[in-house]
Amino acid sequence: MFKFLLALMFPLFASQVLALEVITQFGVVKGDPSGATVAFKGIPFAAPPVGPLRWMPPQAPKPWTGVRHAIRYSDKCPQASIANKAIRYGSEDCLYLNVFRPQNITKLLPVMVWIHGGGNTVGSASDDILGTKLYDGEKLASQNVIVVTINYRLGALGFLAHPLLKSAEGVEGNYALLDQIAALKYVRDNIRAFGGDPSNVTVFGESAGAINTLALIASPLANGLFQRAIVQSGFLSDVSLEAGEKQGADFAKAAGCTTAECLRGLSASDVVRIFNAMNPAALQSAGATIDGVVLREGVLSAMRAGRAAHIPLLIGSNADEMRTLMDAVVPNASSISDTQITKLLSDYFGAEKAVKIEAEYRPTDFARPTFRLEEILSDALIHCPTREISRALSQFNPSVYRYVFSHTSESIYLSRYGAGHALELPYVFGNMSSLVYSKPEFVFSQDIRNWWTTFATVGDPNVLNQPTWSPVAQDAYLNLDLISEMRSNFRGSRCDFWAGL
């Protein structure tokens, strides 16, 4: 009955300015108008995953009576500060989403659901940059789309795999992915009331958000919940159940727990502290486990075999990916030596492969060891997997488009990072400070938003008065810069090396 009422509601106000109060599945929410858009912040899409619900699939939120004033972002999920791991913050009551829509809607609009990055250990839908909400969806929504941004469980709370915690459905780990699936189901069941088209949903994410988007494309549980995807700087990080359970066993041992009750009795702060103590990197990572339920096989394996969703895809990487990440993911990376790189490569890839990698990326070809490691990791973790993913998915749907973001800002704050990891985000959302960005960069941001929202609307990013963006045949890609152009075979010989390693 609820879905039937929603279906009837939209035509009643299709040609009018939409009301600020929206009837959702769980209660009425009232939004906050700003300019030509309205924001609905802090809408619960799942019950707080606390007590017996910790490390369980998300449950429906409790309905409310009266009007919920959706004007503030929710708490972030529990996490530690990258700068100081002793500082821990957030709340387990964090499974909320935010909806941004135009005030005046004449037809159902495409929906873009954003999954934030942060290594799956930090971040939220309300992240700040230079005092601005990085993922505020106002500027994207003003281009006739509905933007939804979500929180999801992080770190051990989102990904801990342990037999003690296995659900009745057989889920181990992957709670964060189930949170994202729950948010997509909320969108399916409620977005029409906000003016969105539940049959035209694009999932888009960056870094960990892109990793998770790839996992959702491969997950049978997410099938049919979205029709397109945008993957910005995505990794392939899924692990076997055996490896996931090994990590879970190490965590339980460090916590001194031998029962599920003990694990669920830990404070959220202790869970974050123990998880962070297991990895010395400033920016840690967590990821999906091939548990046989949420993921039945590896993400790339599913894509190559045609067992992933056959949907239009926009996928890309930033030319200098690791330049913004080196000190965060490799301790003392700025002063690392070639001898230390040899050990790191051997530890990570194994001694035999490390010898071949060192021969491919010779120390004499780089001005500094840190530049060498930056290029190795950029190729191995992002650029070349991006090529393999785009090739795999284009076998089953020709509407796969690739980009390389290569713009280096002239700003004194950003120029040293080149086209580093995450530096495309202000352009995608349009949340840019005039103190940092130039007028041509604001135009560039508008171009990117046009491409992204056009793709979300029709599954093809091509727009008038811009270069023709060809699909990925022959490894074609659009080079994104102040003047963008089609190119091909980015990092081709290096990626051939990694494919054969």
Query: Averaged over 275-299, what is the pLDDT?
Result: 91
Answer yes or no: 321 catalytic. yes
234 belongs to a structural domain: no
437 belongs to a structural domain: no
- Is residue 129 within 8 A of residue 116, CB to CB? The reply is no
The residue from 245, 421, 424, 445 that is catalytic is 421
Where residue 173 falls (left for φ over 0; alpha for ψ -120 to 50; beta otherwise) is left
**Interior CA angle at 24 toward 21 and 26, to 5°?**
120
Report the distance separating Cα 204 and Cα 232, nearest Å: 8
- Three-state DSSP at 221 gives helix
67-69 and 96-102: which strand pairing? Answer: unpaired
Q: Which residues contact 168 (CB under 8 A, 6 or more apart)?
A: none
Per-residue pLDDT reduced to its tens digit, 385-402: 999 999 999 999 999 999
Answer yes or no: 310 catalytic. no
364 belongs to a structural domain: no
Per-residue pLDDT reduced to its tens digit, 422-442: 999 999 999 998 889 999 999
Start-to-end C-alpha separation, the chain = 56
Number of domains in the chain: 1
Please tell me the predicted confidence (pLDDT) of residue 13. Answer: 42
Please report where in the chains the tokens 């992002």 appear, as a residue: 382
Report the distance separating Cα 94 and Cα 156, nearest Å: 15
- For the chain, give the percent of residues with pLDDT over 90: 88
Per-residue pLDDT reduced to its tens digit, 475-493: 999 999 999 999 999 999 9
269 belongs to a structural domain: yes
- Three-state DSSP at 42 gives strand
The residue from 126, 207, 237, 484 that is catalytic is 207
Report the distance separating Cα 295 and Cα 297, nearest Å: 6
The residue from 321, 374, 375, 441 that is catalytic is 321
Please tell me the predicted confidence (pLDDT) of residue 138. Answer: 96
**Interior CA angle at 45 toward 41 and 49, to 5°?**
115
Exposed (0-12), middle (13-18) or buried (19+): which is 82, by Cβ within 10 Å?
middle
Nearest in space to 95 (alpha carbons), one of 140, 125, 139: 125
| CATH number of 48's domain | 3.40.50.1820
pLDDT band at residue 15 using 50, 70 and 90 as cut-offs? very low
- Three-state DSSP at 1 gives coil
Answer yes or no: 69 catalytic. no
Query: Averaged over 126-145, what is the pLDDT?
Result: 93
User: Whole-prediction pTM value?
Assistant: 0.95
497 belongs to a structural domain: no
- Three-state DSSP at 349 gives helix
Distances (CA, A) of 466 to 228, 428, 449, 463, 482: 22, 17, 13, 6, 12
Q: Is the pLDDT of residue 1 over 70?
A: no
To the nearest 5 percent, what fractions of the chain are helix, strand and coil? 40, 20, 40
pLDDT band at residue 288 using 50, 70 and 90 as cut-offs? very high
32 belongs to a structural domain: yes
Please tell me the predicted confidence (pLDDT) of residue 17. Answer: 56
**CA 248 remoteness from chain centre:** 23
At how many degrees (to 10) do helices 268-277 and 241-255 cross? Answer: 110
- For the chain, give the percent of residues with pLDDT over 70: 96
357 belongs to a structural domain: no
In the beta sheet, which residues pair with residue 67?
Answer: 28
- Which domain, by its residues, includes 149? 1-58+73-102+110-205+240-296
346 belongs to a structural domain: no
Query: Averaged over 273-291, what is the pLDDT?
Result: 88
Per-residue pLDDT reduced to its tens digit, 193-225: 999 999 999 999 999 999 999 999 999 999 999
- Three-state DSSP at 290 gives strand
